[in-house]
Structure 1
């Protein structure tokens, strides 16, 4: 079987605005916050210090809470943290 690699096509801003207008505000805010939390989790090194470990666990807990909001709207919106 041949797998085709299709080039990614940028989405026009008007389409993004139209899609975002159909999603509730709390879900959009949760998606943005979850994306930031996911990036924040990458900064911590849990094996280096106890402070980093506790900060990482707090960030994971916040991400889990935000993901509950996202999953209620659509399970496909769940943001995964770094492993």
Structure 2
């Protein structure tokens, strides 16, 4: 089977705002929470101190809660965590 590799095209801000206007507010908030949690996960080392592990678990829990809301709206919106 042949698949086409289409280049990613940036979306203009005005178009992105129109798209976000159609998304319910809780889903927009969950998107922001999930992206923030994903960025924050990159700063933690998995085998660091006990406090770092606890903080990392808290961030993973926030990501899971946000992903639950996103999955209810559209499963393609789920944000992956850092390995």
TM-score past 0.5 threshold: yes
Residue 41 of structure 1 is matched in structure 2 by 41
Q: What is the CA–CA distance in structure 1 between the aligned matches of 2:67 and 2:7, rounded to whole Å? A: 30
- Structure 1 stretches of 5 or more lacking a match? none
The 4+ residue runs of structure 1 with deviation greater than 4 A are: 1-5
Q: Does residue 26 of structure 1 match 2:26?
A: yes
Q: Does residue 11 of structure 1 match 2:11?
A: yes
Q: What is the CA–CA distance in structure 2 between the aligned matches of 1:80 and 1:44, rounded to whole Å? A: 15
Which segment is superposed worse, 22-31 or 1-10? 1-10
Q: What is the CA–CA distance in structure 2 between the aligned matches of 1:77 and 1:2, rounded to whole Å? A: 26
- Structure 2 stretches of 5 or more lacking a match? none
When the two chains are superposed, the root-mean-square deviation of aligned CA atoms in Å is: 1.5
TM-score (ref. length: structure 1): 0.89
Residue 63 of structure 1 is matched in structure 2 by 63
Residue 51 of structure 1 is matched in structure 2 by 51
**Which whole-Å deviations, capped at 9, do the CAs of 1:53-82 have from their partners, x for residues lacking one?**
111011101110111111110101111110
**Which whole-Å deviations, capped at 9, do the CAs of 1:1-48 have from their partners, x for residues lacking one?**
776554332212221111111100110011011000011011111212
